[in-house]
Amino acid sequence: MTKTKTNPKPRTGNATKSKVFTGYLQDEPDDRDYALSALNTTITDIDMSEYVQYIRDQKYNNCVTCAIDAAFEMENIITHNKKVWVGEQYGLADGFLYTLARQEDGSFPENVGTYPRKVLKIATKVGMPPDKVMPYAYYKVKDEPDLKAKLAANFYKIKRYEALSKEQIPYAVSNKKPVVFGMLLDNAFVNYKKGEILTQTTDGYYGGHAMVIAGLKISNGQVVYKILNSWGRDKGNDGYYLVSQQYFNTRLYEPAWAIYV
């Protein structure tokens, strides 16, 4: 077992900025999907970026765990007005679920993608430790969590998760629910220019990528989503991307996910 260092240090970003890290694998359909609890029926402007603890900068194909960790942190603040272990370290340990999901898949220690439903199940049963006990700044793709990380994970567990169709997503977001989703990336997204709103899909294939919807606004009668990415603050609009609902629905892998903490 490779032990992780615990010396506090601020998060670091990608060592290879030219590489696009993704890692979303699409789940098989499940009869238990689309069981979202009752929501208000009005779509309204909302911005949840104030509940984002920090902008992640993934260095492996662990976008699914980055998105789920970020959504948990947001939901924890929204629901309980609590941040995850704030100090020199911020938020949850993004390598923890990534290692456990690949071990369950039999793909560990390869730098490969993960399935969101599987990661959510692990986050519900095992939990997620704070970054302080398994720092992502030091995390290597072959690292395994030590006993301290496993014990700390018990304090941060998802209570339940619910699947969303593309029609349900804007209502969930309007109800102040961060939404985890996966989408197929194209050239328009990868080459996003600050301030633009993506409306038309383009060519280019970069695989599936998981992110979090952190808000929406109604512009000229159309929904525009504010998306929290995990490629650092120097991408997009300080880490966020604006995409039209039409563009989003065309690229979306259903289902998306709402979590409860």
Q: What is the pLDDT of residues 121-138, one digit of tens each?
A: 999 999 999 999 999 999
* Arithmetic mean of pLDDT, 102-117: 96
Q: Which residue has the higher pLDDT, 38 or 199?
A: 199
User: What DSSP string runs through 59-105?
Assistant: SSS-HHHHHHHHHHHHHHHHHH---SS-SSS-SB-HHHHHHHHHHHH
Domain range for 229 is 46-260
Is 173 a residue whose pLDDT tops 70?
yes
- Within 8 A by CB and 6+ apart from 177, the residues are 75, 258
199 pLDDT higher than 60: yes
Mean model confidence pLDDT for the chain: 88
Residues 51, 34: Cα–Cα separation, whole Å:
26
Indicate whether 26 belongs to any domain.
Answer: no
pLDDT at 32 over 70: no
pLDDT at 27: 66
Output the pLDDT for position 85.
77
Residue 243, phi then psi, degrees to nearest 5: -135, 140
Q: Is the pLDDT of residue 161 over 70?
A: yes
**70 neighbors 56 (Cβ within 8 angstroms):** yes
Mean pLDDT of 240-251: 97
**DSSP-derived 3-state class of residue 197:** strand
Contact 130, 156 (CB under 8 A): yes
Q: What is the pTM of this model?
A: 0.87
pLDDT value, residue 90? 74
Residue 5 forms part of a structural domain: no
pLDDT band at 40 (very low <50, low <70, confident <90, very high): low
Query: The domain that contains 152 carries what CATH number?
Result: 3.90.70.10
**Is the model's pLDDT at 3 over the cut of 70?**
no
211 in Cβ contact with 228 (< 8 Å): yes
Residue length, the chain? 261
Residue with tokens 């000229």: 220
* pLDDT for the residue numbered 204: 83
**DSSP codes, 24-64:** B-PPPP-TT-S-PPP--S----EE-GGG-----B-SSS-HH
Count of structural domains within the chain: 1
pLDDT at 219 over 70: yes
What is the biggest distance separating any 2 CA atoms in the chain, rounded to whole angstroms?
Answer: 55
Q: Is residue 3 part of a domain?
A: no
Is 18 part of a structural domain of the chain? Answer: no
In a domain, 33, yes or no: no
Specify if 225 maps to a domain.
Answer: yes
- Name the DSSP class of 132: G
Q: What is the mean pLDDT of residues 102-127?
A: 96
| pLDDT computed for residue 6 by the predictor | 39
79 inside domain: yes
What is residue 9's predicted lDDT score, i.e. its pLDDT? 36
Calculate mean pLDDT across residues 29-40. Answer: 56
Q: Answer yes or no: is 41 within a domain.
A: no
pLDDT of residue 1: 45
User: Considering the chain, what percentage of its residues have pLDDT values greater than 70?
Assistant: 84
- Write out the H or E segment, with its range, that includes residue 120: helix 116-125
Greater confidence, 166 or 38?
Answer: 166
Which pLDDT does position 146 carry in this prediction?
A: 97
